[in-house]
Amino acid sequence: MNITQEADYGIRAILILTLSGENSKLDAKTISKRGSIPLRFLLKLLRKLVSAGIVISYRGINGGYSLAKPPKNINLKDVIEAIDGPIAINRCIYDPEFCNANRASYCSVHNSLAKVQKLLEEQLENINFENLRKQEIE
């Protein structure tokens, strides 16, 4: 499993919004510049983050983007899944129809990978943006 460049940019964008303060609003150009994220790419991923309820978009001359909820309630799993879709270390974990051996429910490899999948998801859920903010300012 690889985290895509887009998900990496999404994580950086959320961290930038987190660092700017809970009630602040930043325009896309500022986020792009602070995160070294190409603006067109950023706009695409911001739409996904808005759709996922992680970011709020404000239109107009004083428009911009802000977090839709407190940073402690946004974790890495939320952002990665908003950008890339469900996290799966193997496609048969996400959809048993993809099991090449046609035995997903009793396959020892599938069951072992499912345990790793669960640990991965738990770890990503445990890393929230409030904690990342604290690490950044230390």
Query: Per-residue pLDDT tens for 40-77?
Result: 999 999 999 999 999 999 998 889 999 999 999 999 99
Asked if the model's pLDDT at residue 95 lies above 60, the reply is yes
**Domains of the chain (ranges plus CATH)?**
5-137 (1.10.10.10)
Say what the pLDDT of residue 122 is.
Answer: 96
Query: Per-residue pLDDT tens for 1-39?
Result: 678 999 999 999 999 999 998 789 999 999 999 999 999
DSSP secondary structure string, 79-129?
HHHHHH-S--SSHHHH-GGG-TTS-TTT-HHHHHHHHHHHHHHHHHHH-BH
Say what the pLDDT of residue 108 is.
Answer: 77
Say what the pLDDT of residue 126 is.
Answer: 97
Own/partner contacts of 42-49, CB < 8 Å, gap of 24 or more, are 42/9, 42/13, 44/6, 45/6, 45/9, 45/10, 45/13, 45/83, 46/13, 48/10, 48/82, 48/83, 49/10, 49/13, 49/14, 49/79, 49/82, 49/83
Place of tokens 């099991």: 99
Q: Residues 42, 9: contact at Cβ < 8 Å?
A: yes
**Burial tier of 134 (Cβ tally within 10 Å: 0-12, 13-18, 19+):** exposed
